[in-house]
Amino acid sequence: MLDLSCADWGERIRNLRSLVPPAAHSINAAETARATRIFDKLRLPDVPGTPALADAAGAWFREIVGVLLGAVDTETGERVIRELFLLAAKKSSKTSYGAALMMTALLMNKRPRAEFLLVAPTQAVADLAFMQAAGMTQIDPDGFLQKRMLVQEHLKCITDRRTKAQLKIKTFDTSVLTGVKPAGVLIDELHEISRNAKAARIIGQIRGGLLPIPEAFLAFITTQSDEPPAGAFRAELNMARAIRDGLAGAAGAAMLPVLYEFPPDIAKDRQQWQNPAHWPMVTPNLGKSITIDRLVADYETATYKGEEEIRRWASQHLNIEMGIGFTTDRWAGADFWEEAQDAALTLEEILIRCEVVVVGIDGGGLDDLFGVAVLGRCRETLDWLCWTHAWCHRSVLERRKSIAARLVQAQAAGELTIVEHAKQDIEEIVELIAEIRDKKLLACVAVDPAGLGEFIEALRAIKITQEGEQVVGAPQGYQLMNAIKTAERKVENGTLKHAPNALMDWCVGNVKIEPTATAIRATKQSAGDAKIDPWMALMDAVTVMVRDPKPQRDPEYQLFFA
């Protein structure tokens, strides 16, 4: 079983060494050399002098082409490395190099009528990829490629006259990619394609189509996302990192991971990754298609445009992953949120360990999330323990397409319920509150009063009312400042722990704090499509928990239950 881990990648990238694991070179030296020779002879059609890739391409990519396309077992004819995940920054000539990689695969292919696909996220990228691939066939000085290849521009198809195999350039679309059985696929800019809620399913179908062909391969070539990784991009990125790091469960996976990203100590330290002295680590095509001077000038322009542009620039040019703790106007508690996670904490654990519970509620519109936070006070340590969940109507997936993939992912993880009938969310939330009440744990329900009339009526039906002081309207806007400040301090000092929840992590990263003349506030409007409702539900619960609500149980019952 081939080990494609690269445990010393941090040292390698600091010293500008190859990130291809040594084991990748041990499969088929002859085919590896052949793949490199073919790739080297191709020429860049849009560069003055149309130089050959032997001179124009970076050594880093030439090495990747060799080990991926050459990784065929000499006895069985089966490809040993069946997948590639390449994370490289913009201006690394990824689209041009990717087109050349697929042309090389087409030329090396021995299977009659094989189909190769280059899948682009947009029509513009597909046009560029085809222009590069077609151009390479037209500027061969020996005339070999002009005779061998038939170029059909209207179909974005290049056919090898010898084998009848075809390279097709397509824009990512479920209708054209379902049911394909290709011999090789390159998916360009996976982070953009993952915005499609069906991306993971389509990629799964592509993988299924590759299985019957022993020499088939799948390559992802992508930049980091300018939003926290989600959907298919997040899944493939996590798999590639796990293989690279040699984590249990990833050993033996046939994916070649090559990720040009900073080691954690630099990636998490803004002062370090802003230092141009570190940028060569994540700029493999340095001196070919990009220079540090150009990057510095571009970064200075980004700084004039503000924090959002810096975020975008850093994600695209330095592969800085967007997430918790990036922005200057973030919630201060975001810096410590990851450390506050308790992997063993569940809703059931909270209801067993806590003496009193406050349920926070926020959101609930048809184009919104309905966020719920169960915040309990541990009877032994008095620490605050938090569990969150969200509901949303299926219409949100259509109205908020930019986050649809993330919501589907959260549903699969059990962090979100997509509502199938009109009152499902309210019914399930009320059922949860009733369970907490019946265990004699409920202090009260803290709600954002806006737009929750139907929910208040449902609570009244189970005798949880404002008159009985079991429903409290949580202060909003600047009046929420005390809860925001209290929560961030408790997260920082370790006395507020939360259950694992990637959707909540995303919401925490979306929170933006706005200063006012005399206070601070966090608003949904600031976050836009980047939802914060479960975080707001937690803040609603904190507004009550800071008042030190008293347990409802008598000591003997409490001891028996524990």
User: Residue 305 domain-assigned?
Assistant: no
User: Residue 57 domain-assigned?
Assistant: yes
In this structure, the answer to whether residues 339 and 257 fall within a common structural domain is no
Partners of 370 in beta bridges: 363, 391
In this structure, the answer to whether residues 161 and 30 fall within a common structural domain is yes
Q: Would you give the DSSP letter of residue 43?
A: B
Which carries the bigger pLDDT value, residue 475 or residue 108?
108
In this structure, the answer to whether residues 120 and 246 fall within a common structural domain is yes
The residue from 229, 244, 266 where one domain ends is 266
Query: How much is the pLDDT for 526?
Result: 43
In this structure, the answer to whether residues 387 and 244 fall within a common structural domain is no
Q: Would you give the DSSP letter of residue 21?
A: -
What percentage of the chain has pLDDT greater than the value 90?
A: 65
Chain-centroid distance of CA 256 in Å reads 19
* Gap between the Cα atoms of 128 and 152, Å rounded: 15
Tell me the two tokens of residue 352.
């067993």
What mean pLDDT do residues 514-527 have?
A: 54
Query: What CATH number has the domain bearing residue 40?
Result: 3.40.50.300
**552: containing domain:** 334-561
Mean of the per-residue pLDDT values for the chain?
88
Tell me the two tokens of residue 320.
């800085």
What mean pLDDT do residues 227-240 have?
A: 86
User: Residue 273 domain-assigned?
Assistant: no
Cβ atoms 93, 128 nearer than 8 A: no
Query: How much is the pLDDT for 557?
Result: 39
Cβ atoms 550, 455 nearer than 8 A: no
Burial class (CB in 10 A: 0-12, 13-18, 19+), 420: exposed
Cβ atoms 297, 303 nearer than 8 A: no
* Gap between the Cα atoms of 398 and 406, Å rounded: 13
User: Residue 70 domain-assigned?
Assistant: yes
Torsion from C-alpha of 200, 204, 207, 211, nearest 10 degrees: 170
Lowest mean pLDDT among 11-20, 31-40, 246-255, 406-415: 246-255
Query: How much is the pLDDT for 482?
Result: 86
Tell me the two tokens of residue 387.
């569990």
226 band by pLDDT with thresholds 50, 70 and 90: confident
Query: How much is the pLDDT for 554?
Result: 47
Which carries the bigger pLDDT value, residue 499 or residue 334?
499
In this structure, the answer to whether residues 98 and 231 fall within a common structural domain is yes
The residue from 266, 283, 308 where one domain ends is 266
In this structure, the answer to whether residues 253 and 345 fall within a common structural domain is no
In this structure, the answer to whether residues 382 and 526 fall within a common structural domain is yes
In this structure, the answer to whether residues 69 and 148 fall within a common structural domain is yes
Query: How much is the pLDDT for 398?
Result: 80
In this structure, the answer to whether residues 34 and 126 fall within a common structural domain is yes
In this structure, the answer to whether residues 394 and 533 fall within a common structural domain is yes
Cβ atoms 419, 242 nearer than 8 A: no
Question: Tens digits of per-residue pLDDT, 404-426?
Answer: 878 888 998 999 999 988 789 99
231 band by pLDDT with thresholds 50, 70 and 90: confident
Question: Tens digits of per-residue pLDDT, 33-83?
Answer: 999 999 999 999 999 999 999 999 999 999 999 999 999 998 899 999 999
451 band by pLDDT with thresholds 50, 70 and 90: low
User: Residue 417 domain-assigned?
Assistant: yes
Q: Is the pLDDT of residue 491 over 90?
A: yes
In this structure, the answer to whether residues 206 and 355 fall within a common structural domain is no
User: Residue 303 domain-assigned?
Assistant: no
The residue from 266, 300, 322 where one domain ends is 266
In this structure, the answer to whether residues 338 and 261 fall within a common structural domain is no
Q: Which residues contact 452 (CB under 8 A, 6 or more apart)?
A: 361, 364
* H or E element at residue 201: helix 199-210
Query: How much is the pLDDT for 263?
Result: 93
Torsion from C-alpha of 312, 313, 317, 322, nearest 10 degrees: -40
User: Residue 160 domain-assigned?
Assistant: yes
The dihedrals phi and psi of 276, each to the nearest 5 degrees, come to -60, -20
Query: What CATH number has the domain bearing residue 406?
Result: 3.30.420.240
Nearest to 370 by CA among 436, 427, 444, 435: 427
User: Residue 200 domain-assigned?
Assistant: yes
* Gap between the Cα atoms of 396 and 365, Å rounded: 10
Domain total of the chain: 2
Query: How much is the pLDDT for 128?
Result: 94
